[in-house]
Amino acid sequence: MRSDTSYRAAVIGGGPAGLAAALLLGRLGVPTAAIFPATQPAGADRRTAALFAGSIQLLRNLGIWPQLAPLSERMLGIRLIDGQGGLLRAPETIFRAQEAGLEEFGFNVPNAALVAALTEAIVREPGVTVIPSSVAELITQDSGVIIRQQDGSQMLAALVVGADGRQSLSRHAAGITSRTWDYPQAAVVCAFGHGRPHRGISTEFHRPTGPLTTVPMPGRVSSLVWVESRDEAARLQALDGFAFREALETSLQGLLGSVEDIGPRATFPLSGLSADTLGQGRIALVGEAAHVMPPIGAQGLNLGLRDVAVLAGCVVEAQPGSEEAAVAAYARARAPDVASRIAAIDALNRSLLTELLPVHLLRGLGIYVLGAVPALRRFVVNEGLQPSLATPAAMLPDGLAEIARPSTPPMTIASGKT
Ligand SMILES: Cc1cc2nc3c(=O)[nH]c(=O)nc-3n(C[C@H](O)[C@H](O)[C@H](O)COP(=O)(O)OP(=O)(O)OC[C@H]3O[C@@H](n4cnc5c(N)ncnc54)[C@H](O)[C@@H]3O)c2cc1C
């Protein structure tokens, strides 16, 4: 275990956002430590992430896409079905990638495979030192941030990337306040086989208790994100396989034919979190350490990977010694994208939950207008996939070459416990 080394950057957290951040910084020549517990619950994450073009390009740039592509499925269209049962039922609307001039909207990638591929890559990456440990404390000093691990050993980093999830110790250590809230819903998640092909179309049934979404996986398989009231989600989670299959078939209204081979289920209570800023002093937050939103519209990890791409650009651009300025530039650059997405997903979820007729009317009319007006459809499709803000270089083809600079070796400092 190294306890006497200083790094330009230390990334705390071994989820997809933290691993991507460490790998990207290492590739860009920034001497980086990646600190996360060795005993991650490998394979236990049953979620998939629908990742849009910028996120996929980042994975290509990081060299891990060839490993993930066979396990992922192309998303060629998104179908919205108004399952509200209200007075005004909107007609079904399908957004096709072609209309946005794209080959596909993105790919549905299994989370466990993504984390495994990123972990293998950072272990091989010479620019990254993996430290299998939990961080117990962060102490900011003039010269950098002292990172004390659970076993008492410590290191110094000029800049800390807090990718340590919703309970983020980094966020607290930076003194960044946050707003949190709960929704009265939970999502039941699993993979399932079906008789009819999905043809690359993801389907969202918009229902009074929340959306039920199927997202294509390779073959005649889809991943399910079924949002219900918390009680109903607990009931669905507890059903035996036969009863769950029946309930799912009924809710899918025959869309994908007979349901078969249902994988293990997991339930996620829905909540939200918004950090008041994405960076303070020498500590920058990425992923769920900074923002948590309900799994509607596939925004969470796409947003987290945009954090990573923008942060890497700010760090590489900054001269050593001006890390605080890099963190401030990063926080400024990310604020509008993060705030607008949290507000949009919150509003969409709440509009589904409300029983007020005018909201139903507006939402029904919204889905109808989106279906009927081609220019509006194109706008919504493009904004949902990638905001009109500039695409960060790390998400562009050959983007890494554009921002990379030669690596400098880590400097050695005196060790000692504070
Ligand atoms: C049901 C569901 C469906 C979703 N679908 C999509 C989708 O289709 N598309 C999409 O873009 N997003 C989706 N999301 C969101 C996405 O899953 C999350 O944004 C993403 O997994 C968060 O990754 P993260 O790396 O930020 O956090 P996490 O995965 O929570 O990682 C946090 C890491 O920090 C580590 N850690 C914590 N504390 C410490 C410490 N003190 N020291 C060291 N390490 C520490 C933990 O061990 C962990 O490795 C979905 C979410 C849900 C719930």
Does the beta carbon of 72 lie inside 6 Å of ligand 1?
no
Could you identify the atom of ligand 1 that is nearest to the CA of residue 133?
Answer: 43
| pLDDT score at 384 | 55
Closest residue by Cα to atom 39, ligand 1, is 164
Q: Residue 66: how many CA atoms within 13 Å on its side-chain side?
A: 2
Paired strand residues for 110: 48
For the cut 70, the answer to whether the pLDDT of residue 357 exceeds it is no
The mean pLDDT of the chain is 86
Distance 344 CA to ligand 1 centre (A): 20
Does the beta carbon of 134 lie inside 6 Å of ligand 1?
yes
Does the beta carbon of 50 lie inside 6 Å of ligand 1?
yes
Does the beta carbon of 287 lie inside 6 Å of ligand 1?
yes
pTM summary value = 0.89
Could you identify the atom of ligand 1 that is nearest to the CA of residue 305?
Answer: 11
Question: pLDDT grade, residue 32 (50/70/90)?
Answer: very high
Tell me which of 324 and 352 has the higher pLDDT: 324
Cβ-contact 245, 202 below 8 angstroms: no
Domains present along the chain, CATH in parentheses: 6-74+108-180+270-354+387-403 (3.50.50.60), 185-269 (3.30.9.10)
For 150-208, write each residue's pLDDT tens digit.
999 999 999 999 999 999 999 999 999 999 999 899 999 999 999 999 999 999 888 88
For 204-234, write each residue's pLDDT tens digit.
888 888 889 999 999 999 999 999 999 999 9
For 236-293, write each residue's pLDDT tens digit.
999 999 999 999 999 998 899 999 999 999 999 999 999 999 999 999 999 999 999 8
Best probe residue, ligand 1, of 190, 301, 307 (max atoms within 8 Å of C-beta): 301
Does the beta carbon of 385 lie inside 6 Å of ligand 1?
no
Distance 91 CA to ligand 1 centre (A): 35
Question: pLDDT grade, residue 351 (50/70/90)?
Answer: low
Give the Cα separation of 212 and 202 in Å (integer): 11
Could you identify the atom of ligand 1 that is nearest to the CA of residue 169?
Answer: 41
For the cut 50, the answer to whether the pLDDT of residue 417 exceeds it is no
Distance 175 CA to ligand 1 centre (A): 21
Tokens at 117, concatenated: 């591929």
Least confident interval from 88-102, 141-155, 254-268:
88-102
Does the beta carbon of 384 lie inside 6 Å of ligand 1?
no
Contacts of 63 (CB under 8 A, 6+ apart): 121
| pLDDT score at 206 | 81
Distance 47 CA to ligand 1 centre (A): 10
Question: pLDDT grade, residue 409 (50/70/90)?
Answer: very low
| pLDDT score at 3 | 45
| pLDDT score at 237 | 97
- The percentage of residues in the chain with a pLDDT greater than 70, rounded to a whole number, is 83
Ramachandran class of 175: left when φ > 0, alpha when ψ lies in -120 to 50, beta otherwise: left
Question: pLDDT grade, residue 4 (50/70/90)?
Answer: low
Block residue for tokens 């005004």: 88
Could you identify the atom of ligand 1 that is nearest to the CA of residue 288?
Answer: 26
Question: pLDDT grade, residue 376 (50/70/90)?
Answer: very low
For the cut 80, the answer to whether the pLDDT of residue 414 exceeds it is no
Distance 224 CA to ligand 1 centre (A): 18
Paired strand residues for 191: 223
